[in-house]
């Protein structure tokens, strides 16, 4: 048999996803922004035995999945997060079930926003509207109003900064705590010593309030960017109607279902778990799995997947998978892992952020010394570089200028936008893809998709439907032997698509004895019958086995039509030829031509003989020189490597099962999978629908996400590069600095959220 594209069994050697027992969930204290999320994720991913980590900002949680051989240890997780400056506690099952945290002024940013904004607006109105800033009674009132904001609203920043200080590190909380304390501390010292200048309580309150607003918006918009994942989480119903032996229905929680249970499903209800139809007929909408809006007809024996919608008939299903073993749970796991992944581009931001805070503190210290010790020189420099400024635009005394401009530098340089640039874009892009039936493995897959120069397509199940059928049979000696019966008997034990097609072509009515049956992977099948070896397989293999295969019009005619021709032989005698034909997938020609217009070098790889492969390639527009025929499964990865050695960046498109080595070797692996194959982890991108039309959409969305990441990183760096010098020169007050920092966060998040509405 020719090198078949499904030559292995269902166990392709790819690692499995963790089971529910392998996952541990934690509530984490101290996660204030995406920089914190990234730091916590890195700390957990470094632990031995950890398979994957998902850390979320809203709610502040960490979900750790362990490798199969690892022993879960909550204490290890708690210690690792403590070493990174965070506090964690394990969640019980009941706690994990409640994904929405109760409102608490100390758990969220609402308290800071309400109290801080109220006091900030009162102080702004009084100082800017009524000109009360220099009135002594108002200064004492401002102190009384600012003190609770500094103590209560600022507590989160102080605690976060202290945790980082204890481990010898620093973060955004450090800058906010230093900046607001500088403004508040200087003003309090001036108030109690009777200094007659302007006090900066409004600025101290504004720093905490505006940055709290930024964090609140960040958590809200990050949660909004993840709404596709939340929609997936809500698809599976909480209860199901289990049938007992008498057929009576009992409503129970879905969590209580076990494999083998029978469940009744009424029209309009969602399927609770994965199962197989036992009774009834109905149309089921599977858009949440495949992105295809047309319903699929289901009858006894058909598979059902949790979260899909039963439309118009009553069904009885037998439960085959529950919990994290369902297709829906596997999809959620892939999306969660992708959301928490890091792209290579993020390394630049990480490297900068690692030294950013200490550098900013030094710049702020230098700014304070410059304005404090050389006030006239600082004013002269600022007004020379920015002629529209006047000396009265600056604090009246060197001491005030030193404190205020140093505080401004600390605030405006907060690296929050850099921390947001990559994860929020990945989250939005991954969720947008999931709604289209496209699962993107991680951030690196997004990057790799932008560098692809060659597309290598497997044939069966990818370019073609993979639904083979025997089109014609040629008997060398008609009537001499029941060749169809013999071929069906040989093929029956095999799971290969070609074997299944031959076995289905003729039911076995007699049972000639076969001994020593074995399948030669990528070649064919052989056994012993009545003392002679019988073989069913490819011409090349049969010829190597000593079978005499003469040229004939049957072979050339069907190969010219793109059919696969197999031979049946006994000993060295050829008994019959079987022509098996597959159909091209819809839009295959359109997809191939579109990729070629984009400059991609499109190739076809198959185990079929060259003549058949060339015929199929001609139908979809792939040139003959880009056809690789008679390639055995283990040789596909070698072929990918050979193209890579020639300077090509290769994307391999396969069915996600036997193509695992090639998918892993390729720069970008794309698996055209069905729902039952979601757990396969060899691919970078998994298409839940069988139509390869999704491939250009997947590449386009991945490249759009990559562009968004680059845009976000540019604006984040540009913002800091422009804002810090302006603040050093005294152009930006602490209030404007805090507002500018929040605006940069919104710009980055808003740019990423555009991916959610992308149409192709």
The tens digit of pLDDT for each residue in 351-369 reads 565 677 788 889 989 999 9
pTM: 0.60
Q: Give Cα separations from 344 to 50, 444, 751 (angstroms).
A: 21, 6, 20
Mean pLDDT of 39-60: 81
Judge whether 105 and 209 are in contact, CB under 8 Å. Answer: no
Catalytic residue among 22, 458, 608, 667: 458
Mean pLDDT of 254-266: 91
Question: Is there a contact between 581 and 561 (Cβ–Cβ < 8 Å)?
Answer: yes
Please report which helix (H) or strand (E) contains residue 290, including its range. helix 287-290
Q: CA angle at residue 220 from 125 to 216, to 5 degrees?
A: 40
pLDDT confidence band for 290 (50 / 70 / 90):
low
Residue 573 has pLDDT above 60, yes or no: yes
Return d(Cα 556, Cα 569) in angstroms, integer.
19
Q: Where in the chain is the domain with CATH 3.40.50.1000?
A: 451-458+586-675+682-688
Check whether 268 has a pLDDT greater than 80: yes
pLDDT of residue 137: 93
- Higher-confidence residue of 258 and 97: namely 258
Residue 276 has pLDDT above 80, yes or no: yes
Top pLDDT among 18 and 123 is at: 123
pLDDT greater than 70 at residue 395: yes
Share of the chain above pLDDT 90, in %: 18
Tokens representing 584 are 């091209």
Average pLDDT over the chain, rounded to an integer:
79
What is the model's pLDDT at position 393? 66
Most confident of 104-113, 585-594, 734-743: 585-594
Q: For position 6, what pLDDT does the model report?
A: 32
- Which is more confident, 91 or 227? 91
Q: What are phi and psi of 695, to 5 degrees?
A: -65, -50
CATH 3.40.50.1000 fits 451-458+586-675+682-688, yes or no: yes
Angle at alpha carbon of residue 215, lines to 211 and 218, rounded to 5°: 135
Residues forming CATH 3.40.1110.10 domain(s) in the chain:
469-581
pLDDT value of position 663: 82
Torsion-angle region of residue 494: left (phi > 0), alpha (psi -120 to 50) or beta? beta
Among 179-183, 212-216, 348-352, 725-729, the range scoring the smallest mean pLDDT is 348-352
> Residue 383 has what pLDDT?
83
Q: Which two tokens stand for residue 656?
A: 């996600």
Instruction: Please name which of 749, 720, 714, 718 lies closest in space to residue 732, comparing C-alpha atoms.
Output: 720
Tell me how far CA of residue 693 lies from CA of 291, 311, 483, 588, 652, in angstroms.
12, 26, 40, 7, 15
**Range list for CATH 2.70.150.10 in the chain:** 237-323
Whether pLDDT at 1 is above 50? no
CA distances for 48 relative to 16, 77, 336, 531, 628, angstroms: 18, 11, 20, 56, 42
Q: Which residue has the higher pLDDT, 614 or 103?
A: 614
Q: Quickly tell me which residue has 């070098």 as its tokens.
A: 601
Q: Is the pLDDT of residue 119 over 90?
A: yes
Nearest to 360 by CA among 736, 746, 725: 725
Q: What is the average per-residue pLDDT within 559-573?
A: 87
Q: What is the pLDDT of residue 679?
A: 39
pLDDT of residue 567: 92
pLDDT at residue 294, rounded to an integer: 61
Nearest to 34 by CA among 749, 604, 518, 751: 749
Best CA proximity match to 183, nearest among 244, 129, 118, 120: 120
Q: Output the six-digit token pair for 684.
A: 């970078």
Residue 457 has pLDDT above 50, yes or no: yes
In this predicted model, which residue has the larger pLDDT, 365 or 436? 365
**Is 60 exceeded by the pLDDT of residue 179?**
yes
CATH 3.30.413.10 fits 469-581, yes or no: no
709 vs 422: CA distance, rounded Å:
5
CB atoms within 10 A of CB 492: 17
Lowest mean pLDDT among 340-344, 401-405, 520-524, 569-573: 340-344
CATH architecture of the region 22-97: 2-Layer Sandwich (3.30)
Residue 105 scores a pLDDT above 80: no
- Given the structure tokens 């809006």, which residue do they identify? 293
Give how far Cα 129 sits from Cα of 33, 202, 494, 738, Å. Answer: 34, 13, 85, 21
Query: What are the structure tokens assigned to 480, written together?
Result: 């001499």
**Under CATH, which number does the domain 237-323 receive?**
2.70.150.10
Most trustworthy range by pLDDT among 619-628, 676-685, 695-704: 619-628
Least confident residue range of 59-63, 388-392, 523-527? 388-392
| Most trustworthy range by pLDDT among 311-320, 550-559, 686-695 | 311-320
Confidence at residue 688, expressed as pLDDT on a 0 to 100 scale: 76
Please give the pLDDT value at position 576.
92
Lowest mean pLDDT among 165-179, 314-328, 442-456, 504-518: 504-518
The helix-helix angle for 346-373 and 694-728 (nearest 10°) equals: 10
Which are the contacts of 669, defined by CB distance < 8 A and separation ≥ 6? 651, 652, 654, 662, 663, 682, 683, 684, 685
Name the maximum alpha-carbon separation found in the chain: 118
Task: Report the distance separating Cα 12 and Cα 632, nearest Å.
Answer: 15
In the predicted structure, residue 100 carries a pLDDT above the cut 60? no
CA–CA distances in Å: residue 746 to residues 138, 255, 426, 652, 724: 34, 40, 16, 38, 19
Residue 229 has pLDDT above 90, yes or no: no
Mean pLDDT score, 397-406: 87
Q: Supply the pLDDT for residue 4.
A: 33
Distance of CA 167 to CAs 81, 82, 163, 188, Å? 11, 9, 7, 30
Over residues 216-223, mean pLDDT: 66
Q: What percent of the chain has pLDDT over 70?
A: 82
Q: How far is it, in rounded angstroms, from Cα 161 to Cα 171?
A: 7
pLDDT for 577 equals 92
Question: Is the per-residue pLDDT at 228 higher than 70?
Answer: no
Check if 458 is active-site. yes
């Amino acid at each position: 048999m020719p090198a078949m594209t499904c030559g292995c069994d269902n166990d392709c050697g790819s690692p499995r996803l963790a089971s529910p027992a392998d996952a541990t969930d934690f509530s984490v204290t101290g996660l204030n922004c995406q920089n914190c999320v990234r730091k916590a994720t890195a700390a957990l991913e470094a632990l031995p035995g950890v398979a994957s980590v998902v850390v979320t900002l809203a709610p502040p949680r960490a979900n750790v999945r362990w490798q199969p051989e690892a022993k879960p240890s909550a204490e290890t997780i708690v210690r690792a997060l403590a070493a990174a400056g965070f506090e964690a506690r394990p969640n019980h099952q009941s706690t994990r079930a409640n994904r929405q945290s109760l409102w608490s002024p100390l758990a969220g940013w609402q308290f800071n926003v309400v109290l801080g904004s109220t006091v900030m607006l009162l102080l702004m109105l009084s100082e800017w509207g009524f000109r009360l800033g220099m009135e002594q009674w108002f200064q004492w009132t401002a102190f009384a109003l600012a003190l609770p904001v500094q103590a209560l609203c600022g507590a989160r920043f102080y605690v976060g900064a202290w945790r980082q200080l204890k481990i010898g590190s620093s973060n955004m909380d450090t800058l906010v705590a230093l900046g607001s304390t500088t403004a508040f501390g200087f003003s309090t010292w001036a108030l109690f010593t009777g200094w007659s200048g302007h006090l900066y309580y409004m600025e101290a309150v504004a720093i905490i309030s505006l940055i709290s607003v930024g964090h609140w918006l960040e958590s809200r918009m990050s949660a909004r960017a993840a709404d596709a994942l939340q929609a997936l989480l809500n698809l599976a119903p909480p209860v199901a109607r289990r049938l007992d032996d008498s057929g009576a229905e009992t409503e129970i929680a879905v969590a209580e279902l076990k494999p083998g249970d029978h469940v009744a499903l009424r029209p309009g209800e969602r399927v609770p778990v994965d199962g197989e139809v036992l009774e009834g007929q109905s149309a089921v909408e599977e858009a949440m799995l495949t992105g295809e809006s047309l319903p699929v007809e289901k009858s006894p024996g058909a598979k059902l997947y949790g979260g899909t919608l039963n439309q118009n008939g009553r069904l009885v299903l037998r439960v085959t998978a529950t919990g994290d073993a369902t297709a829906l749970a596997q999809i959620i796991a892939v999306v969660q892992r992708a959301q928490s992944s890091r792209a290579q581009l993020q390394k630049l931001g990480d490297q900068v952020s690692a030294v950013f805070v200490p550098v900013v503190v030094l710049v702020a210290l230098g700014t304070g010394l410059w304005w404090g010790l050389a006030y006239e020189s600082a004013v002269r420099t600022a007004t020379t570089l920015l002629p529209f400024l006047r000396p009265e635009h600056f604090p009246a005394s060197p001491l005030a200028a030193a404190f205020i401009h140093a505080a401004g530098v600390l605030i405006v340089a907060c690296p929050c936008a850099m921390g947001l640039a990559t994860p929020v874009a990945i989250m939005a892009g991954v969720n947008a893809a999931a709604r289209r039936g496209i699962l993107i493995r991680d951030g690196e897959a997004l990057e790799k998709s932008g560098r692809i120069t060659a597309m290598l397509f497997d044939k069966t199940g990818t370019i073609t439907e993979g639904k083979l059928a025997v089109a014609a049979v040629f008997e060398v000696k008609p009537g001499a032997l029941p060749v169809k019966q013999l071929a069906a008997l040989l093929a029956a034990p095999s799971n290969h698509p070609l074997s299944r097609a031959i076995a289905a072509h003729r039911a076995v009515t007699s049972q000639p004895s076969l001994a020593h049956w074995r399948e030669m992977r990528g070649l064919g099948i052989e056994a012993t019958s009545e003392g002679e070896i019988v073989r069913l397989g490819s011409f090349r293999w049969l010829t190597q086995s000593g079978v005499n295969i003469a040229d004939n019009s049957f072979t050339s005619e069907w190969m010219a039509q793109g059919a696969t021709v197999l031979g049946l032989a006994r000993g060295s005698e050829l008994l019959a030829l079987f022509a098996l034909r597959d159909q091209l997938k819809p839009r295959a020609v359109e997809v191939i031509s579109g990729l070629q217009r984009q400059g991609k070098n499109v190739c076809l790889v198959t185990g079929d003989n060259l003549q058949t492969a060339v015929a199929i390639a001609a139908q979809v527009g792939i040139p003959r020189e880009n056809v690789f025929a008679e390639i055995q499964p283990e040789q596909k990865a070698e072929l990918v490597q050979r193209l890579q050695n020639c300077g090509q960046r290769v994307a391999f498109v396969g069915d996600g099962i036997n193509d695992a080595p090639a998918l892993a070797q390729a720069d970008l692996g794309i698996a055209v999978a069905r729902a039952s194959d979601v757990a396969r982890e060899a691919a970078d991108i998994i298409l839940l629908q069988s139509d390869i039309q999704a491939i250009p959409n997947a590449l386009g969305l991945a490249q759009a996400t990559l562009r968004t990441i680059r845009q976000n990183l540019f604006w984040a760096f540009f913002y800091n590069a422009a804002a810090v010098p302006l603040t050093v020169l005294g152009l930006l007050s602490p209030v404007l600095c805090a507002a500018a920092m929040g605006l940069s966060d919104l710009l980055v998040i808003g740019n990423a959220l555009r991916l959610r509405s992308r149409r192709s």
